[in-house]
Amino acid sequence: MNYPIWYLPNTGGGLLIAIIAILHVVVAHLAVGGGLFLVLTERKAVKSDDTGMLQYVKKHTAFFMLLTMVFGGVSGVGIWFIIALVNPGATSALIHNFVFGWAIEWVFFIGEIVALLIYHYRFNKMSPKNHMIIGWLYFIFAWLSLFIINGILGFMLTPGRWLETGNFWLGFFNPSFLPGLLFRTAIAITFAGVFALVTGSFLKDKALRTRVFRYSAKWMYIPLIILVLTGFYYSTVISEDAFRNVFHVNPESRIFISILIYASIALFGLGLFTIIKMNGFLQKILAFALVLISLGWMSGFEYMREIARKPFVLYDFMYSNGILPEEIPHINETGFLASAKWSNIKEVTEANKLDAGSEIFRIQCMSCHTIDNYNGIKSRTDRLTERGLEAQLTGMGKVNTYMPPFVGNQNEKEALAAYIFEVIQGKTTEVAKPYSPTPLSTDVPPFDPKKDEYVLLVWNDLGMHCISDDEKYFSFLPPANTLNAQLFKRGAVPQVITKGVELLYEAEPMHAHPETAHPSFWEYSKEIFGVELPPGKGLAGKSVKDKMDAHGNHFAADFIPVVPYREDDVYSPYPMFTIKAYDKETGKLLATTKAVTPTSTEMGCKNCHGGEFAWNGISGVSDETSRNILAAHDRYNGTTLLAGAENGHPKLCQSCHADPAVGAKGQAGILNFSSAVHGFHANYLSNMDNASCNMCHPSATTGNTNCYRGRHTETGINCTNCHGRIEGHALSLLAAQKNIKQANVLAKNLEPVFIADKANINPRTPWLNEPDCKGCHTNFNINGDGYSGTAFNQWVGGFNDLYRNRTDNHGVMCIACHGSTHAVYGARNIYEKQRDNMQPLQYQQMAGTIGTHNNCAVCHTKSMDTNGHHRNMVNRKDNVAIVE
């Protein structure tokens, strides 16, 4: 950012560096190993009086001199020229820190030139002894050049303690100096053998050609063991992040790992044919093929070394775009454009937003990316929305550490996202229209407190059950609502009835056939869930018209296959069920009530991953969104989920990721589903308060579900007051799995908001350790001493302690009177204001908690003046939301 940018939108500076560098590096290594080859081969020829071999050495010297001195020297200058244009900041740093190192290297290089010229032009004109001394001098100078350059190249990847001290020698003799020197020396010897085959293949004397080939093959294979051992040594001295980038994270490295592996097999496998007798033409083909393979092999190695260095050009000192990590806080505060010396735009406005984004792209991104060619940004962002691009910029450098972090303020981040989306992608972001729900209506069931003997309370176990409804590609939440119920016989001391009765339930008419409204669940049930379900049956064998089963102190119907799609094409995420209790012996109807089964497909995946709502443009995950999600998963994790799905084999996410919500054990060493999803996305949706919740969950007030609808909303409480912001929410999940390496990777760059230090985060298991109501409702009184304003980091002990499973001392479940999670009475429903309040309205003609405002008579036939179920019950009239 302190230098002008060389604008190469189609080729990119990185590709030009790679082309020149690979050619030069191969020749430079040949210059070292080839020097040793020359002098030892001459010595062999002289000692054995092999004039043919000696003449071969002389001819090889001419070829060697032209290739290494002329091409090698010119391409070396070309590297300096290209790196100075592409990354002047890094070039300047290398020159200023190692100026004496470079000076010494030039002395050795001049020694190489002089020695090689004498060696070539005085061949057969000096005594063999003196001539070989010149040859040894050439090799020593060449190897010392390698010695110097290796130290500086190693510094770029492993600067070691130089970062703390700035000491020249600590930077030069860095952690990768020794393995790098041994590895490159072995490469040099191998390449000496490879290029000797080229000149050897042109020999007319067949016997001599065979001897040269077999002799040269030894030069290829003798260094092999050194290459293998020092290769492993090399991998141990690089940082953990660098190793992870190369072998686990950076998808770009996979192709170069493959190139290195296959080129190694080809190089040393094909080299065996050098010992077999064949005609001269085939030997020429073999020799040149090995040279090309050597170029590929070297490109694989050098690219892996470059990838290991990402996101830095000088590791831990300077990012690939020339920005120093220590500068970032100041730049973020003052603005990137204001800090960029060669930018004409200093501030983002609405009028210059795209131009500003273009400027930021050139300065921050083009050191590695082109527009639409090598490492093109277009192909790497075409599956993201503008909002998704903004999230990607937020998360850069956090999870996938081969990318440097975005540097700049929020306006600059939005400008860059807009430029990539609107200019490079040529797309536009449509402004979402406000959703207008189709009004619903339901009659409140009758209740006569003078005559009715029973009270039936029914609730959904969750305030909202979400469905990932594109089973063609994947599933993580099937249609599976659970209704729970308690039947009370009214009296002075009411009784919880669990025997001698039968509870039947039935969905309202337009929700009677979910298999026709959403057939793909049943179509792919065998492939995804391992069971072939009859149409209309859920995973526990229940349909939308069935009976409830006794479960201890209550009744339940598990995994009812409810969907939010009505048969008349109306989106209805709050299907109403009628539940009736009968006497088993007489068949007498004892009680009737109604309850919603909240079900939504308003998954926010499309907000970042593209695509539109699949079901009538209102809700549901589209095929495009699903494909983009699986493509991202495959790219980051090396899986083949997209190909599998497109071949008719979609997966349940929890087949790999454990999840108590669906009873999945997952696979060892893999994060559970909630930890993986929240841990990853927290790095991309940070600093957003509850807006990050609304990005994914159907909780936004402007959405088509509005699932967070209980009376807590009336007091200004949002998702984060209980669950914490996404950073803390993720950290609590990851803390429980810190024995898994990926958990620490995802948690590394997250900081909680409501807790001072993430070391104080209490670990939790999803669905089992949820926020404790008593975190806020101290002593069952929100105005009492100890009210903290948040329940974050205060988790219940386990499944039995969850709000939906708790009971008082009389066996009455808390949720029966207070209403479902996220929809506690009185709730406001955008589809029908009182839709969630059926039972409070039925039994006490007001939408608050059952029993509130001295309505104990709902169940008690005797006047009550004590706190029977929990403290602070009697005469508690304040802080109670009554929906009119």
254, 295: one domain: yes
Write down which residue in 294, 319, 344 finishes a domain.
319
Region for 31 from its dihedrals, namely left if φ exceeds 0, alpha if ψ lies in -120 to 50, beta otherwise:
alpha
133, 165: one domain: yes
687 vs 684: CA distance, rounded Å: 9
Q: Is residue 236 part of a domain?
A: yes
270, 290: one domain: yes
Supply the pLDDT for residue 862.
Answer: 86
Task: Dump the DSSP string for 484-507.
Answer: EEEEEE-BSS-EEE-SSEEEEEEE
Q: Is residue 388 part of a domain?
A: yes
**Tokens at 584, concatenated:** 């088993």
208, 306: one domain: yes
Name the residue type at position 214.
Answer: R
Q: Is residue 780 part of a domain?
A: no
309, 343: one domain: no
Is 698 in contact with 704 (CB distance < 8 Å)? yes
Task: Dump the DSSP string for 594-659.
Answer: EEE--EE---TTHHHH----SBTTTBS--HHHHHHHHHHHHHHH---HHHHHHTT--EEGGGTS-B
Write down which residue in 290, 319, 348 finishes a domain.
319
pLDDT in tens, 462-519: 999 999 999 999 999 999 999 999 999 999 999 999 999 999 999 999 999 999 999 9
Among candidates 337, 343, 341, 342, which has minimal Cα distance to 414?
337
Q: Is residue 211 part of a domain?
A: yes
Count of domains in the chain?
Answer: 3
Supply the pLDDT for residue 572.
Answer: 95
End-to-end CA distance of the chain: 61
Q: Is residue 286 part of a domain?
A: yes
Supply the pLDDT for residue 778.
Answer: 73
470, 391: one domain: no
What is the domain extent for residue 521? 454-595
315, 354: one domain: no
Write down which residue in 302, 319, 336 finishes a domain.
319
Tell me: cis bond preceding 826? Omega within 30 of 0 counts: yes
Q: Where residue 362 sits, what CATH number does that domain have?
A: 1.10.760.10
Q: Is residue 302 part of a domain?
A: yes
Supply the pLDDT for residue 598.
Answer: 97
CB within 8 A of 331, min separation 6: which ones?
A: 323, 339, 407, 408
379 vs 116: CA distance, rounded Å: 48
User: With a cut of 50, which residues of the chain have pLDDT below it?
Assistant: 784, 786, 878-884
272, 349: one domain: no
Tell me: cis bond preceding 311? Omega within 30 of 0 counts: yes
264, 363: one domain: no
391, 341: one domain: yes
Q: Is residue 628 part of a domain?
A: no
DSSP-H helix ranges across 238-325: 240-244, 252-270, 280-309
140, 262: one domain: yes
390, 495: one domain: no
Q: Is residue 287 part of a domain?
A: yes
Q: Is the pTM of this model over 0.85?
A: yes
